[in-house]
Structure 1
Amino acid sequence: MTEKPRAADPGAAGSAPGGSAGGEQGAGEEPRVVIRDKRKIGKTGDRTSAAAAAADAAADVPAEGLVEETEVVVDEIEAEAPISGPPVVDAPAEPTEESAQPEAPLGAELEAVRSELDERTRDLQRVTAEYANYRKRVDRDRGLVQEQATGAVLTALLPILDDLDRAREHGDLVGGFGSVAEQLITTLGKLGLAAFGEQGDPFDPTRHEAVAHQTSADVTEPTCVQVMRRGYQLGDRLLRPAMVAVADPE
């Protein structure tokens, strides 16, 4: 069986020009380093094992007068297979300033809520104090209005009381008329009406109205020696001063 001629080996062909190039270099030049990758040679489908060996042998034999080339063989580096198993989970990174920044708006919002709460609390306290003062003022005004109304009614009844005093001095306040007069005086006393002004009381210009003055060796200070009309007061409020005659010491 006739063997077909094989195709020329590119590797072997490439070595010859390399040798020629090496021959053109001078003898004093540094040797050229040739790097071959055996993976390519071993994986080429067009070459046979014999042709590859012959090509390598021819390439290793230096030509006459040429500087021997140093061959550096790069071994085939097998890719590392991935390690089977569960994926490695990285440990959580420590919080940094950038990661803590999203909490800043929350802190600002919380501070705003606290400020608003304090403001509403102050408003509530102020309204409560104002309402308490309002109630006190209303109660005071109500009491004052009631006292004024009662004082107005009692002031209108004072002339009747003056007539009863004169009737008592003359001895006319007896019988049923005297009983009615006592009941009226008792009822007015329950409303807060109080009479003042008796003979021998010290003279008080704020409560007594002096209509006559005289001197006397029997007194050591200005004294009411005669009461012409009794005075009345409602609580601490003066309804009418007493009309008196005053004796000054000599």
Structure 2
Amino acid sequence: MAIVLSIAGVASALIGSAGTVQAAPARRAQPCGPVMFVVPGWQDGGAQKLLDPAFAPEGANPVRIPYPNSVNDINLYTDVDAGVANLRTALYNLYVTYGCDLNTKVYIVGFSLGALVAGTVLETEPPGRNIQGILFADGRRQPGESNWPGDPGGLVGHLPVPGPGGAGFRPLDGFRYPTLSLCNGPNSAGGSDLICFGGTNLDSYFSSHPYYSFDVATELRIHGEGPYPHNLRNRVIP
């Protein structure tokens, strides 16, 4: 009999009072309701809407993935590594500890710093799961498969050294699961978001970077869920 993963149930089970991912007794594989793992940005950017079930797709219950992202956490490299570890643990708990079968619908959503976390897991999670990724303002966003001719890609991709989450742009065919990558372009209200659209500085951080819908359900209705060519749908908006 299918079980529904409620916010309270999954959040309390996966995330303890200290903000770490907790283990629980293993269960036999069984169908579970859809779940959406959410990795907010620095200082919880986007969290208010991303964690609101009203904006989640297919009745999925949003679950926050904890990682260091407060104003005092300024080592972005180690912060991303911690988020990747916690997101992988949450997936392990879903499939192994709680026994949800591999057909359980899982949405992995990240914004900004959280997109670096989510994107890394979407590139490395073993195949055979029913996963859909949604990235808002990914700093390693690749210029390929874009709806914008001459798309310059994300800021981290332009760095001469490895940035948070890895080196350079994410390679085409890098994602193991269908991933919708969204970035505010030149025609958006605040102009281009230089974090994900060719920036070499942070000038757009307050003018365009924070201003996304964060309405995952609507964005998936507009742009479609996977499968996509190369597991990527790369969209500049508007």
TM range (shorter): under 0.3
Structure with higher RCO (Cα < 8 A, 6+ apart): 2
TM-score by length of 2: 0.21
TM-score by length of 1: 0.20
Higher helix fraction (1 or 2): 1
